[in-house]
Each structure stands twice: as C-alpha cells, then as structure tokens.
C-alpha cells in the first residue's frame, strides 16, 4: 500500500503559504499511520494519529512508572510470602508432628490404683532449627551449645549445613528460650508442644513404660494406651506406688549387699490377680530412657525367661497331690541318688533317709521331686504345668510378654529335671501367678496390670483341700526347712526357696546362680504373694560364704513383707511363738467365719478375729 505522508503535502504549498504554515505548526509532529483512506491523486491515504513530543515523553514516563510500581509490588509480595512461610514453619511442623505423635494433650493420663499420677501431659516450648535459613552452620551450632551443653556441636553443624530441619531439644525452659532468643540466630524457631512427663521418675518405670515423640507408646502401659486408651479418661493401673517404692528400695538394698548383677520382684493380690508392684533392676527414668544403663529398659520380671530352680517343686508337689499320686503321708527314698537314663540326680543337702511328702518340699529334695514327676509321667506333669499357665504366654496386655521355654521333648530325663526347675525357663511373672493359684484355694487368675472392676475371672486348677495342704507344707519350709530367714512375726509367712545354676555356653555354671524366693502372707489365709530374685549374688562372710536362696532371697522376702504388709492393711495375728494359734489358723478353711470355730481361749479368739478382719 502506497503511503502518503501529510508532511509531503505541506511541502507542495506555495512559498508564502509554506512560511505561514511553518509559523503556525510550532511543535514538531510525529505521524503514526492508523489505517487507509482516499486522498489526493487517487492514492490511498492513511488515518494518522499525531502526538506532540511532550506528550510522547509523558507517556513514556508514565509507562516506566507503572512498570516500576508493578516490580515493587511483586517484590514485596514475594517477600511477604517468604516471611509468612518462615514465621509459620515451626507451627506447621508442630501441627504435623502432633498429628502423628498424638501428643496434642489428648493422650490419657496413667494413674496408680489410688489416683497417684504415673504419666501426664505437660505443655512445653521446644527448639527447632530450619537449616535452610541458617547463614553459618558452625557458628549456629556453637552458639546453641552455649545454652544447651548437651548438644553435639559436630553433629548439629553437619545437619544444618545439609539444610536439614533439626530439633536440638524437644523441651526447653523459659530461661533457655530467653537466652536462645537473645542470640538472634536466623532459622531458630520456638514451638508449642505437649511433652509426656513421668512424675515418679524411675519408680514403676517398667510397668508405666515410656512413649517416643511421633511413635506413641513404646513399652509398658504407655503401649497399652495405644490400644485401649480413651481421651479424657485416665488409665488406672493396679500398681500401688507405696508398695512399689518399698519393693524397689529393698531390691536396691539387696543388690548392694550381695553385689548382684540384677534383681527383680513382684507383688500380686492372689484373690484378684492384680499386680500391686513389680520391679526390675537396673531400672531407668522414662523421662530420658536413652540415658539409662545398657539393658535397663528391659523388663526382666515380665520378658526375661529363667530357670528358677526349686520353686518348681511347689508345682510338682501340688500336681502330685491333686492327681491322687501322693498324700501328706507318702514316703520317698532319697538315699544316694536317683538314676534316670544315663544320669544320676542328687540332692544339694541330702537327708539320706526316707522322707515324707511334706519333707520333699521342706528340705528341697531333687530326688523326691523327680520321683513324684516319674509317678505322674511326662504327660501328667506337662498337663499340670500347662494348667498353671507355665507353658504358654501370659494373657496380659503388656507387649513385653513372652512365652516360656519348655523342653523340646518330654522324655524321662526332662520330666525329672523339670520337676525341680531345671530344663524349663519361664518369666518370673509366670511363676508368681502359678504360685498364687497354689495357695489361694486352687483358683488360677491371670495377672493384670490394670485395676480390676467387677468380677474376677478365674478357673479351678486344684481342689481347696490340695491348696490347704500346700499352705501347711509351705509353712514348714519356713519353720523347719530351707527358708527360716523368710519368717515375719505375726504373718506366718509361707514360701519356697529356689537356687538355679545359670546356663552358660551350653552347660550350667558352677559359680553363678539365680536365687529366688516365692511366698505369701498371711500364710494361713494368703492375700498377697511375693516373688524376689537376685542374679548372681556373691557369697558373704556373714552368711558363711553361702550364696543360695535361703541366705539372700529369703531374708529379702522378709524385708519386703515387713514393709508392705502394714501399707496393705494386713494386721499381724499375734506372734509366731504361739504354736497352738498357728495350728488353728492353718487348719481353718479360707472362708471360715470366727463364730464357726470351736471355743478356744479368749486371747486366741481375739487374735483370730484380728487376723481375719482385713481378709
């Protein structure tokens, strides 16, 4: 298209006219073609838009201003978004963390049976660092360590340099927060969160267990909460912290005295199966589980399996009695040794005579127990132990539970050794629950770490007559047998010692023992059973260099019983020096009323009434 400029037409005017036009058009003009139109010489003409130079400059300036304004708006917008991200990063991280950890305060508290706090949620402030915001990783780590000395400077430096999101401390004090804030370090974030706190510290730590951030309960009742916990409702345990404290104190004292490697113990209500206390040493503080001694988190009383030795004679004797294979008058020849296959079984302190049923338990005869087992046969003994829950995992809620380790086969040799507690490994809690069934009238009640509400489920494993005989037999163990140091005045304690050589490298160690005493009080009408064990106690001159259960575990049981009986409101019945009263008490059925007892002296009746008052 032919373009004709207006400027060209102006140039074709006469000279005077050109001069006049030049004077009238003062400003220079920029011509911009807009579109075609008809014009001179039949040439297509363009629609034009004329702008002055001043207008053009103004428009350019206006455009640049708009561009600058837009650029500033975008820059400040991006800066605002970044500031918002930085300021809320800790909060969002905390929210994500709480959602997975269930640590937002909804996790139920854990109480002892009387309402004492065992686990609770506390609001705390935590420290986090966004490595992407840190300018100098090494300097930041050094500065943080001036306030939190436990921080590993090298590790923190390395992680910050990698741009990681780090939590140097899950909970800090207000003073620490102020000091850290004053450092003015970029990338440091303070977040609100809930911390699980254990106000009893080490006390009952293996029962309560502990939780881990982001993972929930790791052990004990904390793990149980993940299955049955209800927000707003505390989990009430069967533990009594007063009894727990006494048990742990006495175990700790015994470990110190006998220089034992470890110790454990438990107290069970034989009528309900409630574990009133259970302890394992070494223990740990659930507020800082990683700082405990190696193996301290392990619950030896519930998880570990041991050959507990002669306390198994109680189960063998009760089974023989209940099956009709034995009576209180049955006699056993324990002279020399007992030959089975290619093995000869001997007694530790042999009586070298014919002894009665009661004396097998009283003097802890391996030969007598093996003879009883042989008369029942492998199938009979195995069935009896299974009935006592000694061959299967306990039906408890703690995930630390563990199945016993019976013999792979039950031949004559295995039957003989299992009868006196060798060749079969069970947890201490297995043994305690089975013993409770022997002395409580013959009812097996599964142990529980939760406070019972309503009826207690049970099943009969022995007759009441068998249980009554066993209580009398176990009393003789204390008065005339291997456990004289277990007696507690007024409580007529009953029980059995057990000394077992520790297995090592496929054989038994002659120098390392596990010593155990399991007993109950009051012996004539048991309310609580107690088991205590020491792992490799050393002999002492005071004990004539003996390190067997009668010299260490038995007195430990006595110390525990003397402390916890008053706490549990069990009133002593006179003194152990009254043989007539003792005979009356042990001949009474468990549920006998005072009015049904034949007339005795007023003093004896008063003592019996006192003994029964709290049963």
Same domain, yes or no, for 512 and 425? yes
Residue 280's Cβ-side half-sphere holds a number of Cα atoms within 13 Å equal to 22
Question: Band of the pLDDT at 95, cuts 50, 70, 90?
Answer: very low
Q: Is residue 96 a part of any domain in this protein?
A: no
Residue 336 has pLDDT above 80, yes or no: yes
Tell me the per-residue pLDDT of 557-582, one tens digit each, with 9 for 90 and over.
999 999 999 999 999 987 666 788 88
Question: Band of the pLDDT at 45, cuts 50, 70, 90?
Answer: very low
Question: Band of the pLDDT at 470, cuts 50, 70, 90?
Answer: very high
Token digits of residue 267:
């107290």
Tell me the per-residue pLDDT of 125-170, one tens digit each, with 9 for 90 and over.
999 999 999 999 999 999 999 999 999 999 999 999 999 999 998 8
**Residue 310 designated active-site:** yes
**Mean of pLDDT values over 402-413:** 94
Contact 309, 500 (CB under 8 A): yes
Q: How far apart are CA 535 and CA 262, in angstroms?
A: 5
Same domain, yes or no, for 518 and 437? yes
Contacts 24+ apart (CB under 8 A), 241-245: 241/112, 241/114, 241/116, 241/118, 241/200, 241/203, 241/204, 242/564, 242/567, 243/267, 243/276, 243/277, 243/564, 243/567, 243/568, 244/112, 244/203, 244/204, 244/207, 244/276, 244/277, 244/278, 244/279, 245/203
pTM as predicted? 0.78
Same domain, yes or no, for 158 and 261? no
Same domain, yes or no, for 283 and 382? yes
Token digits of residue 244:
């727990």
Q: Are strands 216-217 and 211-212 parallel, antiparallel or unpaired?
A: antiparallel
Total domain count for the chain? Answer: 4
Q: Is residue 99 a part of any domain in this protein?
A: no
| Host domain of residue 395 | 246-570
Choice among 237, 280, 310, 604 that is catalytic: 310
Same domain, yes or no, for 561 and 592? no
Q: How far apart are CA 209 and CA 367, in angstroms?
A: 42
Token digits of residue 138:
């090494």
Q: Is residue 506 a part of any domain in this protein?
A: yes
Q: Is residue 100 a part of any domain in this protein?
A: no
Contact 167, 85 (CB under 8 A): no
By residue count, the chain amounts to: 615
Domain end call among 48, 83, 118 = 83
Q: Return the beta strands (E) in 452-594 as ranges.
A: 459-460, 494-504, 507-521, 528-535
Any idea what the CATH number is for the domain that residue 349 is in? 3.40.710.10
Same domain, yes or no, for 138 and 12? no
Tell me the per-residue pLDDT of 494-535, one tens digit each, with 9 for 90 and over.
999 999 999 887 788 888 999 999 999 999 999 999 999 999
Question: Band of the pLDDT at 258, cuts 50, 70, 90?
Answer: very high
3-state DSSP call for residue 577? Answer: coil
Domain end call among 67, 83, 99 = 83
């Amino acid at each position: 298209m032919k373009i004709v400029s207006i400027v060209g037409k102006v140039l074709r005017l006469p000279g005077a006219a050109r001069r006049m036009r030049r004077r009238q058009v003062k400003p220079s003009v920029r011509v911009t073609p807009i579109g075609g139109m008809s014009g001179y010489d039949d040439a297509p003409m363009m629609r034009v838009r004329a702008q002055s130079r001043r207008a053009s400059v103004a428009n350019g300036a206006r455009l640049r201003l708009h561009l600058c304004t837009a650029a500033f708006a975008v820059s400040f917008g991006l800066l605002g978004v970044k500031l918002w991200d930085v300021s809320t990063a800790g909060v969002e991280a905390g929210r994500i963390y709480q959602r997975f950890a269930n640590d937002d305060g909804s996790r139920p508290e854990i109480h002892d049976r009387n309402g004492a706090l065992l686990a609770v949620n506390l609001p705390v402030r935590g420290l986090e660092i966004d490595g992407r915001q840190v300018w100098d990783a090494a300097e930041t780590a050094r500065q943080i360590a001036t306030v939190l000395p436990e921080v590993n400077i090298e590790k923190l430096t390395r992680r910050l340099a990698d741009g990681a999101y780090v939590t140097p401390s899950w909970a800090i004090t207000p003073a620490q927060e102020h000091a850290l804030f004053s450092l003015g370090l970029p990338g440091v974030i303070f977040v609100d969160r809930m911390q699980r706190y254990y106000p009893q510290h080490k006390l009952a730590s293996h029962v309560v267990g502990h939780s881990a951030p982001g993972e929930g309960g790791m052990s004990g009742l904390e793990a149980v909460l993940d299955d049955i916990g209800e927000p707003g409702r505390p989990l009430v345990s069967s533990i009594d912290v007063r009894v727990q404290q006494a048990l742990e104190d006495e175990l700790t004292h015994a470990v110190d005295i006998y220089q034992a490697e470890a110790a454990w113990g438990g107290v069970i209500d034989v009528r309900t199966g409630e574990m009133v206390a259970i302890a394992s040493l070494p223990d740990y503080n659930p507020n800082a589980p990683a700082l405990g001694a190696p193996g301290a988190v392990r619950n030896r009383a519930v998880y570990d399996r041991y050959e507990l030795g002669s306390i198994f004679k109680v189960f063998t004797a009760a089974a023989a009695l209940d099956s009709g294979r034995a009576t209180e008058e049955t006699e056993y020849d324990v002279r020399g040794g007992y030959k089975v296959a290619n093995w000869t079984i001997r007694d530790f302190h042999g009586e070298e005579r014919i002894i009665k049923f009661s004396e097998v338990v009283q003097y802890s005869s391996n030969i007598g127990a093996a003879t009883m087992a042989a008369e029942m046969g492998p199938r009979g003994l195995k069935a009896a132990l299974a009935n006592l829950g000694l061959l299967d995992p306990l039906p408890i809620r703690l995930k630390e539970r563990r199945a016993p380790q019976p013999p792979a086969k039950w031949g004559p040799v295995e039957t003989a050794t299992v009868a006196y507690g060798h060749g079969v490994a069970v947890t201490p809690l297995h043994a305690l629950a089975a013993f409770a069934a022997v002395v409580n009238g013959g009812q097996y009640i599964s142990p529980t770490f939760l406070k019972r509400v309503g009826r207690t489920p049970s099943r009969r494993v022995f007759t009441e007559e068998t249980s009554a005989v066993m209580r009398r037999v176990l009393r003789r163990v204390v008065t005339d047998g291997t456990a004289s140091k277990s007696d507690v005045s007024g409580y007529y304690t009953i029980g059995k010692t057990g000394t077992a050589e520790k297995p090592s490298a496929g054989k038994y160690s002659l120098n390392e023992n596990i010593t155990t005493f399991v007993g109950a009080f009051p012996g004539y009408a048991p309310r609580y059973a107690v088991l205590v064990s020491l792992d490799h106690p050393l002999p002492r001159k005071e004990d004539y260099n003996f390190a067997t259960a009668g010299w260490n575990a038995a007195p430990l049981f006595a110390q525990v019983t003397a402390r916890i009986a008053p706490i549990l409101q069990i009133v002593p019945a006179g003194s152990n020096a009254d043989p007539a009263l003792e005979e009356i008490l042990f001949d009474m059925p468990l549920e006998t009323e005072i009015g049904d007892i034949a007339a005795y002296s007023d003093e004896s009746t008063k003592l019996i009434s006192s003994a029964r008052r709290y049963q």
